[in-house]
Homo-oligomer: A and B are copies of this chain.
């Protein structure tokens, strides 16, 4: 892990854009958001970003890369509870000062911005709209967790995998990380996807090949291609509204 205090200009926009998606911010507030993170940590793939129990305070914002949150099962397996993409807040425990009892691990080389909590308090007092935006992000995350619950409880393997691909496509697209033709990077192992979806590695593999044979998804070398996202969404009953801040 490498630490630095000099941001790349792209990073500050990543988080700002996310907040602007869920709430309008005045120019002054936008500037405050840009300058909020003062510490940056770079992780290589499969490094712990947060280790259970160990909490150094601060709000952590994903700025580049990919990570996931997970819980341990008694027999050593893991259940991944969320994938964290650029723009996401890593965990919202700071809101209620309750540390999350979960590990966060990077899946690809990643950058995380850290906002000191006192600094955040000051900013938020000055621009309460920022707090509103953050709370909306928290609500969306809760909503995504519940949708994953629906997948595990009510969808078969094909729909689970397809639905997750739709979700990643949708989220990465909004973050500007999908290239033309529905092509995006998903630096995930099939085994890791299984850990999120409650499926064995072997069955994830079978399912992916089924999707490939259906012409709905191609996944090779960490690159996913969705030639026809609408069809896939229809097949899996993917409705992205759960990822939006649903105001009036």
Closest to A132 in B: B96
Closest to A80 in B: B153
A153 contacts B101, CB within 8 Å?
no
User: Contacting A143 at CB < 8 Å: which of B77, B101, B146?
Assistant: B101
Residues of B near A197 (CB, < 8 A) are 153
Residues of B near A29 (CB, < 8 A) are none
B198 contacts A77, CB within 8 Å?
no
Scan A138-157; emit 1 where CB is below 8 A from any B CB, else 0: 11101101111110111100
A198 contacts B145, CB within 8 Å?
no
| Chain A interface helix/strand/loop/mixed | helix
The answer for the CA separation of A140 and B196 in the assembled complex, in Å, is 21
User: Contacting A146 at CB < 8 Å: which of B81, B136, B155, B198?
Assistant: B81
Q: With A96-B139, A136-B98, A139-B95 as given contacts, are A149 and B150 in contact (CB-CB < 8 Å)?
A: no
Let me know if A245 is at the binding interface, CB within 8 A: yes
User: Contacting A237 at CB < 8 Å: which of B74, B138, B237?
Assistant: B74
A interface, CB within 8 angstroms of B: 71, 73-74, 77, 79, 81, 92-93, 95-102, 132, 135-136, 138-140, 142-143, 145-150, 152-155, 195-198, 237, 241-242, 245-247
The answer for the CA separation of A146 and B92 in the assembled complex, in Å, is 14
Residues of B near A71 (CB, < 8 A) are 146-147, 150
